[in-house]
Structures are given as structure tokens and as C-alpha cells.
Structure 1
């Protein structure tokens, strides 16, 4: 099976052209390919195929085999992948995901690709849309959750996938390996959740570390960066545009007047190869 390895700020993916490759079990293949010792190594496997309601269909499988609704960093990688491999000549592309239609745009300077900007759609803010237990029509802003006898004030946002954002004074002091999985699987989140710890630097800059649902600690998370900006605005910490500083680098996120989030950042191909099935 031919594949291409990509990353967005170190959040890495194995991209496969689904119209050329026949795959019987995506979940099993994802765990096999994503294993960093016995496979290619990645945070996720992405299958790209021609779409019906959009230019392309994108299915994302985490390293544990679970299927993700959406992934911002993977979206940027897929947009550049289909363009540079001659699968489309469009520079604004529609991608069908489990979270709906997402629209990335390739931005050039002097005929050189500079960045990929993605319209991530509107945030979902009520418990029923995140989803989260409790009053279905209530927003979750700075609400306490107790884990391991410690209380964390969380703000919950969905970007097509659930996010639990916690503001702290020092993100580097957080033991993500311990607290991440406990919050991910907390009973408040029936479909589990991504977990972001955020440190506010100034009104236009925050530092974020992430534990991703189904993948663990990753270098970056695009939907998480968008959810972080929304949570930062709802809690009065930032303006509606900010640089989100992640372990793998920076993303620029803006929450527009039309209620849509846009996210801009790099997408880089690392190598291509053939995997023996």
C-alpha cells in the first residue's frame, strides 16, 4: 500500500489515497501503521477519497484505531496533499468529515505556498452539542470538575469534536500523561473528550498543551487551538484573534463576526513509501 507521511506542527499523519488502495479494516490498519516502533509512526491515519457532497471525503483514524470526527491539522495536510498530487487544481477545497463540510484554502506568496487557512465552522457551546452530561441547553464556562481529589475549572467547546479547556498559571507544570486520560474518560463526557491546558500570555497570545482523545499527547491540535480561542474569549482572557503556541509551533486562529473560526498554519510532507500489508 502506497502512503505519504505529513505533519502539521508535529501532529503527524499517514495519508492514503482511498481511490487507489483497497483497505478492509481501517481500525486495525491505523493501530498497525501508527505504531512508532513496529509501523510507520503517526498520530493518525487519514483516508482521502472523492466526495459526493464535497470535493473529497476525509476519514481520520486515531492511533488507537478509533475514528475521529474532525482534525484541523490533518485538514491542512490533506488540502496540500490533494493539490500537489494533481487530484485537484482548486486552491479552495471542500472536505467532507464526520463533523460536516470543512473548507481549507491554500495561500501563496510569489507562487510559493505560504500557509493553509481553514474555515473550521462554528463552535458548539451547549452541553447537548459537545456532548456533556447535565442541562442540555447550558453552556459550560469555568465549571469545576473533580479528578483525583483535585478540582479543575473547565470550559467545554465542540469543534465537531469535544474539547475540555482548563486555564492554568503554568502549562509546563501539568503532568499530561497522568491527568489527560482521566479527564478524557470522565463520566461527564459520554463520547470522551480532548483535553487542553492553557496559559494566557497576553490578550493575543496563549500557550496550549493537549491530550488528544484516542491519541494521547500530541505536538499540536488544530481543533483544540480553535476551541482554546473560543474558551479564552468566553472567559475574557483574549481578543477574538490570537496566536496559539503549541508544543510543535504556532497556529493563528480568528473567531470572525460570522461566528466561524479560521485557523492558519503549515502542512509539510515528510516522506512517501510503501507499507507491506
Structure 2
């Protein structure tokens, strides 16, 4: 199996061309092994890119535990870079199918920065300095005063395995408001650990911040995000109730090519 290793702000993925490689998508043990950092390549997720009858390509995403995953924002951005490099589309724009439906993307061929459209968000729950919403994957977002005071794994695991979320799991994001941007740390289900970045988590964090701290201003907004793996930005339109026209933007990098 030939593969490329990609990273997007520290979120890393093993990506393969499904038109060339014959991958048993039901073999979760093998997929988990690809992602294992001691006995495999090492990755937060495994991605298969294949042809689609009416779109540029289809993306199948698997969590590091080998099980089929929901939408992964950084994985989607890396998938676009992989698809461009492997000739699934030409030019700077594409459309593809993922777990949560249709996505559009724009790539800068000079630096492989990818801007990815995300699903609209029309339902969410708001509490005391916290919000719950689905941005392609389910997320719990909580505002904190100082990220350095948070044990992301311990605190994230406590919420993820709480009685409400234990059966299906939820991703947990801790958000600190800083002068020029939001700082976000994420505990990811499926990985069951902190990751250096999470695209759907960053998106949920930006929208939650808008609901909880910004005064809910109507219109178009751009929020810069600092994760432990790098910088991203989230653009969106808010009409007083729904979030639409959501775009996640940031760098991607082809780290290396390999053969299993």
C-alpha cells in the first residue's frame, strides 16, 4: 500500500488513493494499526480518496481507532491537497462528498493553503459559558480563563465519558479569548486524546464564541484561531439564529510518502 502522510496544523493523516489501493474498510484492526504511533505509520486518522460519479472525489475518513469517523475539518483540507496532487481535479476549486454531505474547497497551488466549506449550523445548545453543536462532528465547547490551567485530557475525558455522552462520544474544546485570536485545545473522541488541532472543533469554537462572548452580531465574521499545531481561521455568516457560509482556512503539508 502506497500512502502519503499529511498534516494540517499538527493534525496528521495517512491518505491513500482508493482507485489504486485495495483497502478493506471493514478491517478496523488493520486501519487502527496504520494509525498506531508505535506499531504503524502514526496518525490521527486514515483517509481514502476515490472517484465520485458527479463530484471531483469522495473522502472516507476513519478515526485512529480504526472505526469510520464523522467529518474531519483538517482531514478534509488535507484530502483536498492530496486530491489536487493526485489529479482528481484541476484548477483551484473542487467539490467532494464526505460523511456529512457535500463540501466545496479552494486551494492555493503555490502554498497548498486550503479553504474548506463546512456544514451549516442551525441547531445548538447554550449554557453557562458552554455550547454544544454539530459542525460535521459533535462538539462540546467551554470557555476558560487560562488554557494553561486546564488538563485537556483529564477534563476532556470526563465530559466525553459522562453519562450523557458516553455511548456515542463527543469532542471537547477548551477556548481562551486572547487579544488577537482565540486559543483552542481539543480532546478528540476516536483518538481518545488531545490533538494539536481539530478543524470541526475550531469551527465549533468560533461559532460558540460568537454566541457566548461577541454579542451575537448579525453579518459576516472572520475569527482567527491559534491551536497548538498552528493557525486557522473561520469565516461565517450569522443571521441572528443560523450560521451559514462557514469556511475553515489554513495550511496543509505533505510530510512524506511511504509504502506499507
TM norm structure 2: 0.90
Q: Do residues 251 (structure 1) and 228 (structure 2) align?
A: no
Counterpart for residue 36 of structure 2: 35
Separation in 2 of the partners of 1:86 and 1:256? 32
Q: How does 1:186-197 map to 2 (within 5 A)?
A: 186-189=162-165, 190-197=167-174
Q: Return closer, same or farther for 1:114/1:20 CA change in 2, 3 Å cut-off.
A: closer
Counterpart for residue 146 of structure 1: none
Separation in 2 of the partners of 1:154 and 1:85? 41
Separation in 1 of the partners of 2:59 and 2:141? 26
1:264 to 233, 249, 252: 249
| 8 Å contact kept, 2:130–2:208 | no
Separation in 2 of the partners of 1:7 and 1:119? 19
Indicate the SS of the match to 1:67.
coil
Gaps of 5+ in 2: none
Counterpart for residue 8 of structure 1: 8
Separation in 2 of the partners of 1:186 and 1:30? 27
Q: 1:9 offset after TM fit, Å?
A: 0.6
Counterpart for residue 205 of structure 1: 181
| 8 Å contact kept, 1:124–1:158 | no
Q: Do residues 235 (structure 1) and 235 (structure 2) align?
A: no
Counterpart for residue 122 of structure 1: 120
Separation in 2 of the partners of 1:218 and 1:97? 21
Q: 1:121 offset after TM fit, Å?
A: 2.5
Counterpart for residue 274 of structure 1: 259
Q: 1:114 offset after TM fit, Å?
A: 5.3
Separation in 2 of the partners of 1:188 and 1:260? 30
Counterpart for residue 149 of structure 1: none
| 8 Å contact kept, 1:33–1:41 | yes
Q: How many residues end up aligned between the 2 structures?
A: 249
Gaps of 5+ in 1: 127-139, 144-152
Deviant stretches of 4+, over 6 Å: none
